[in-house]
Amino acid sequence: MEMLESVLIANRGEIACRIIRTAQRLGMRTIAVYSEADAEALFVQMADEAHLIGPPPARESYLRIDRIIEVARRTNAASIHPGYGFLSERAEFAEACAANGIVFVGPPASAIKAMGLKDAAKSLVQQAGVPVVPGYHGSKQDPDFLRQKAYEIGYPVLIKAVAGGGGKGMRRVEKAADFDAALESAQREAQSSFGDPRVLVEKYILSPRHIEIQVFADGHGNVVHLFERDCSLQRRHQKVIEEAPAPGMPPEMRQVMGQAAVEAARAVGYVGAGTVEFIADGREGLRPDRFYFMEMNTRLQVEHPVTEAITGLDLVELQFRVASGEALPFAQEDLAIDGHAVEARLYAEDPEKEFLPSTGKLWALEFPESEGIRIDTGVEAGAEVTPYYDPMIAKVIAHGATREEALDKLAEALGQTIVAGPKSNAAFLKKLCEAEGFRAGAFDTGFIDRNTADLGVGPQPIDEVAVSFGASALISREIERLRMAELQKSDEPSSPWSMPDGFQLLGLRSVGVPLRVDGERVEAREVFSREHPGASTVAFGNSDPWANEETDREVEAPHGVYIIRNGRQTFVQTYDPFDVDLEHMDEGGTVKAPMHGKLIAVFVQPGDRVEKGQRLAIVEAMKMEHVLVAPSDAEVAEIAAEPGAQVAEGARLIVLKTEE
């Protein structure tokens, strides 16, 4: 059978680049669609042609089925690949493709519908003999009823959106007193992400391991599994590091889980690439009788590269071949596991500030090139990380003969990765790869939450060495600027009295250097050498001004300098201490937006008295909700923004009058 002539990629970023690379290798014409925010994006440059479909918000561009189908018809696209996220699991999108004679590179709409609603999917696979987690999977959504069901199931419970995935609309609830707020939040996030607020309630499995099986089916009745992936390292139900195969997986359990996944796929007449996700009770290690079906993702997964690494297959190529009508070129017995692979999701987020998404220009972005390392990215140096979409910068994948070798390679690669501009989780990921418990295989989905201090999560001391490097770079830049200015003014040499060298008659010569370090005001000291006239260095805090320290990278920007050290970014600026900073005056009672986003809820009114830690508002950014709480007991003086408004990072939202 002939390969499809062309493909329109109904997605963006890293996965769009990934699909384009394989499609072009297969000789297919590639068509990109993009929003106004992505006009200069890497995937737009890579595609053979690209077409604008709307403004930055996804609901006005990447979620517009009508506009995407219109572009596909206008360009005579033979097929549409949905990637993951956005429209990838929307049955109506697959139906629209079929209605217009366009091949949908994915399962039939009937399979998407069957597995798209978690409650119906659980009933379906249960009939096929696949074990499911105890819980309420019915249609009744009355809060009082769901609260009663949670009581009957027994805490802790997990509230999960019926539609969608990716951790959206999911809340763990430890006690009955927290149920109502968690339910409200999960329903709101589910409505925002999937257009469906319905939820189910399940028993939360203690010491859970999140293990998924990659399945593949063709249109000729053949279904196989491509082994498992372990996705247990999570934060807020979002996967952080994934690996294949799963550590400690007994062969008999792999066989049982694999067969269960195949049966689930057969039950819905599946075609193409899909993932069947299971939760395993890991209290006594992985056992064949202690795993439960969670959901089936009817699309390619973010973590598919680790499966490709251990099987030697290109899953996107297989998707295209199956969509073209070809049969799978192998049977189950032809497949084998080769070594071990680990993937880390590199995000533009700040682990020191509760993983808040970070936006802005990427002043530098560099990845190592070494054997066994693969980089999947959708951005390059100079690109903007915007607040409109998922903050992923790249996926860093390592493949080795053993798990230890793969983790060593990944940790080394993360240590050599340079990200300057938005904050990133590179240092956090490196520490995670090196964490003793994870290395030993003693982990579950709560591992990160239990080890935040050791992983560099939360406020960290200022990197004094990085500040010294940054201040030295800024001083050198200023001296060069002054020198050039002097040369332009006169041919006469500059007077030594006008040089900024901290000249003084007694003691060690030094001058104060006022700085901002990641927005915080500090002061360093430029210290001048007695032995070498004109030579100077910068001291900050307790750092030795003459120590021969090292840094990974120094990246200049017009507004300051970024110092990358041990994978951690420090941004250093000069400032004039005599300037009046109106923006930050009397800010103790002001609650500001922690990032660019949308203010979706305000829970207080002027005149209300609030207690420290009380919920005040919710800001949604990059598909996640962020709760803002009162920093102290206070009275609400002013509400400065209306729910529904787009707010910039640092914007005033609520003004509090602190109680004396």
Selection from 280-294, 501-515, 612-626 with the highest mean pLDDT: 280-294
pLDDT at 444: 94
For the ranges 196-210, 313-327, 376-390, the maximum mean pLDDT occurs at 313-327
Whether 508 has a pLDDT exceeding 70, the answer reads no
- pLDDT by residue (tens digit) across 209-265? 999 999 999 999 999 999 999 999 999 888 999 999 999 999 999 999 999 999 999
pLDDT, residue 499, reads 45
Q: Say yes or no to pLDDT of 482 above 80.
A: no
Task: Report the candidate in 227, 225, 206 with the shortest Cα–Cα distance to residue 280.
Answer: 206
Question: Of the given ranges (186-195, 196-205, 263-272), which has the lowest mean pLDDT?
Answer: 186-195
Distances (CA, A) of 107 to 15, 40, 189, 396, 533: 18, 32, 26, 28, 73
Where is pLDDT greater, at 595 or 389? 389
Least confident of 130-139, 172-181, 215-224, 505-514: 505-514
Mean pLDDT of 565-573: 91
Cα gap 618→205, rounded to integer Å? 28
Residue 580 reports pLDDT greater than 80: no
Q: What is the mean pLDDT of residues 482-486?
A: 67
pLDDT (0 to 100) of residue 659: 58
How far apart are the C-alpha atoms of 625 and 236, rounded to whole Å? 11
Q: Is the dihedral of CA 389, 392, 394, 398 positive or negative?
A: negative
Provide mean pLDDT across the span 618-634.
80
Kindly indicate the confidence band of residue 505, based on its pLDDT and cuts at 50, 70 and 90.
very low
Hey, what are 622's tokens?
């990059």
The residue ranking higher by pLDDT, 547 or 343, is 343
Banded model confidence at residue 528, pLDDT cuts 50, 70, 90? confident
Cα–Cα distance, 291 to 276 (Å, whole number): 12
Model pLDDT, residue 619 = 86
Residues for the chain: how many in total?
Answer: 660
For residues 473 and 365, which has the higher predicted lDDT (pLDDT)?
A: 365
What would the pLDDT profile of 299-331 be if each residue is shown by its tens digit?
Answer: 999 999 999 999 999 999 999 999 999 999 999
**pLDDT score of 572:** 93
Q: Tell me the pLDDT band of 487, cut-offs 50, 70 and 90.
A: low
Question: What pLDDT is stored for residue 581 in this prediction?
Answer: 43
Strand partners, 37: none
By the 10 Å C-beta count (0-12 exposed, 13-18 middle, 19+ buried), 120 is classed as middle
CA torsion, points 366, 372, 378, 379, in degrees to nearest 10? 0
Residues 365-389, mean pLDDT to the nearest whole number: 95
If one counts every other C-beta atom within 10 angstroms of the C-beta of residue 279, the result is 25
Q: Is the pLDDT of residue 507 over 50?
A: no
Counts for the chain of helices (H) and strands (E), in that order: 16, 37
Give the pair of three-digit tokens for residue 269: 């007449």
State the pTM of this model.
0.82
Please tell me the predicted confidence (pLDDT) of residue 552.
82
- The four Cα atoms 539, 541, 544, 550 give a dihedral, to 10 degrees, of -80
Q: Per-residue pLDDT tens for 32-82?
A: 999 999 999 999 999 999 999 999 999 999 999 999 999 999 999 999 999
Range 549-559 average pLDDT: 86
Active-site residues, by number, are 299
Interacting residues of 594 by C-beta distance below 8 A, sequence separation 6+: 353, 356, 619, 626, 628, 649
- Domains for the chain: give ranges and CATH numbers: 6-105 (3.40.50.20), 107-130+206-333 (3.30.470.20), 134-203 (3.30.1490.20), 339-460 (3.30.470.20), 464-574 (3.30.700), 582-658 (2.40.50.100)
pLDDT (mean) for 638-655: 86
Distance CA 306, CA 406 (A): 11
How is residue 261 written in tokens? 């996944």
More confident residue, 59 or 524: 59
Of the candidate ranges 28-37, 64-73, 84-93, 514-523, the one whose mean pLDDT is the lowest: 514-523
Chain segment 410-443, per-residue pLDDT in tens: 999 999 999 999 999 999 999 999 999 999 999 9
Alpha-carbon distance 414 to 82, whole Å?
A: 29
pLDDT band at 102 (very low <50, low <70, confident <90, very high): very high
- In order of 212, 224, 468, 562, 570, the CA distances from 471 in angstroms are 48, 58, 5, 10, 11
Q: Which helix (H) or strand (E) holds 269?
A: none
pLDDT at 29: 98
| Interval 617-626 mean pLDDT | 76
Q: Is the separation of the CB atoms in 271 and 218 below 8 Å?
A: yes
Percent of all residues in the chain with a pLDDT value above 70, rounded to a whole number: 90
Residue 449 near residue 240 (C-beta atoms within 8 A): no
Query: Given pLDDT bands bounded at 50, 70 and 90, which one contains residue 588?
Result: low
Q: What is the rounded average pLDDT for all residues in the chain?
A: 89
Structure tokens at 273: 């690439």
